[in-house]
Amino acid sequence: MSWRAGQRIDDAALNLRGTQYVIKPSSTDRSSTVTPTNDPDLSLSLDPGLWEIEIGIYYSSATAAAGIRTIWTTPADASLVSLRACSGPGSVSTDRLSTQARLIGQVASGEVTYGHGNGLGNAAGATESALVRIVTAGSVALAWAQRTSDVGATRLHAGAWMRAEWIEE
């Protein structure tokens, strides 16, 4: 975050130090798939450096089988300095009101599954956060699919968000 004496205060240097956000403008539904693909909205283009990234995941599924699974997509030469700290309903949770929460540390490509079963529209919440080292500028995205393939859809709700805060060069 630090500034150097004599450093030019231009738009790029100032913007790098501002927190970056993206918020899903509308919901996305997916069905009959367990292969995570990038969400069309939850992606941020980041400059080189160390970043704290956090994602707020609001999701629902039509059936108890569907649920959701998530991974992170990063540039090829990027690395996670920390694990993803993933908190949310357990994989077999069927009700967002149940006390089935858990916390798991997972690598970027490690799939984390969260359960649901209240039907589309009753969103459960999960959060994931990690420190990520970006070497070559590129995008970090949330990729997701269903926990178990089901013709009943899994929905990532409008308002789900992603935040990135620059820590250091």
Partner 1 sequence: MSTHAPWWVAGDRLTTAAPAARQARFAYKPAATTRTSATATDDPDLLLSLPAGMWQLSARLFYGATTGSKGIKVGWGFTVPPTGVQPERIGFGPTSTSTNRINTNVQTRGTAVTSTAIASPTPARLYGNDDGLTSYAVIIEDGLFSLALETTWSITWAEHTVHADGTQLGAGSWIKARPIVLLEAT
The residues binding partner 1 (CB under 8 A) are 1-5, 7, 9, 17, 52, 80-83, 85-87, 89-90, 93, 99-105, 129-131, 165, 167-168
For the CB of residue 54, give the shortest distance to partner 1 in the complex, in Å: 10
Tokens for 87? Answer: 């908190």
Cβ proximity to partner 1: between 3 and 26 the closer is 3
Please state, in angstroms and rounded to a whole number, the distance separating the CA atoms of residues 98 and 121.
17
Q: Which residues does 107 contact at the CB level (< 8 Å), separation at least 6?
A: 80, 83, 84
In angstroms, what CA-CA distances link 20 with 43, 44, 136, 150, 158?
Answer: 11, 8, 18, 34, 18
For the CB of residue 4, give the shortest distance to partner 1 in the complex, in Å: 6
Cβ proximity to partner 1: between 34 and 85 the closer is 85
Cβ proximity to partner 1: between 28 and 70 the closer is 70
Cβ proximity to partner 1: between 101 and 158 the closer is 101
For the CB of residue 143, give the shortest distance to partner 1 in the complex, in Å: 20
For the CB of residue 119, give the shortest distance to partner 1 in the complex, in Å: 21
Q: In what order do the strands lie in the sheet with 138-145?
A: 37-46, 138-145, 68-73, 112-114
